[in-house]
Amino acid sequence: MGRSADQTGVPQIAVPRLARYLRLLHRLDKEGVARVSSRELADRLGANAAQIRKDLSYFGEFGVRGVGYDVKFLLSELSRCLGIDRDWSMVIVGAGQLGSALARHRGFRDEGFNCVGVFDRDGGTVGKKVAGLTVRPIEQLVDFIRENAVQIAVVSVPAESAVEVAALAVEGGIRGILSFAPVRLPATPGVFIHELDLSTELMVLGFYLSQE
């Protein structure tokens, strides 16, 4: 449900698949596998080999027919394409249950997403420690983003605060927002917004179950 002008020709729907290929390639590399065919990738992922070849072709001609892909090369190319050959700094706004869980989420740091600040508006939460960081008052958000050149804001506040929080992050110069708030944030030129409402995800499940 993200949106952005896309300059690569990669359809947005392919990006999560690329992330999955990347995860598998990491595993193969650890296992000492040097080359892999699209067929083997497909088998390991429960996916379609033609789809995989098509997805990888957006980034150039990686594979050699009959020989397969060089795992290390494909890994580095995909990492670069997905922007995880570098570190990103991010803040989490909203230090409730979900925000705290996100701040402590192992997988983020592993992929180069470093949480450098946690913010909340609640006086009872400000000053507490979350994942080793002291929760700061929301009033400091704009300056903090600016001074630390923070690139990503994760928004985990209630729906009624999300638009205001996003506006503050944009004012500070944020480049991307991942929002868990069940509300649509206004489009902002130059800022990529990715919305992920957990209730919507359950509704998707409910939809399929109610078809039976």
Query: Which residues of this chain interact with its own copies, rule CB under 8 A?
Result: 1-2, 4, 6-8, 10, 12-13, 15-16, 18-20, 22-23, 45-46, 80-84, 86, 88, 90, 96-98, 100-102, 104-105, 107-108, 110-113, 151-152, 175-176, 178, 182, 184, 186-187, 192, 194, 196-212
Rounded to the nearest 10 degrees, the angle between the axes of helix 15-30 and helix 38-45 is 100
**Strand pairing report for 35-36 and 69-70:** antiparallel
Nearer to its own copies among residue 23 and residue 53 (C-beta): 23
Nearer to its own copies among residue 65 and residue 97 (C-beta): 97
Q: Which of 168, 171, 157, 160 is nearest to 121 (CA)?
A: 157
Nearest approach, Cβ of 37 to its own copies (angstroms)? Answer: 18
Q: Own/partner pairs for 184-193, CB < 8 Å, 24+ apart?
A: 185/155, 187/3, 192/2, 192/3, 192/4, 193/2, 193/3, 193/166
Nearest approach, Cβ of 108 to its own copies (angstroms)? Answer: 6
Nearest approach, Cβ of 64 to its own copies (angstroms)? Answer: 25
Nearer to its own copies among residue 67 and residue 209 (C-beta): 209
Q: Which two tokens stand for residue 39?
A: 């067929």
Q: Which two tokens stand for residue 51?
A: 């789809």
Nearest approach, Cβ of 152 to its own copies (angstroms)? Answer: 6
Nearest approach, Cβ of 68 to its own copies (angstroms)? Answer: 20
Nearer to its own copies among residue 137 and residue 182 (C-beta): 182
112/19 Cα distance (integer angstroms): 13
Beta carbons within 10 angstroms of residue 112's beta carbon = 15
Nearer to its own copies among residue 57 and residue 64 (C-beta): 57
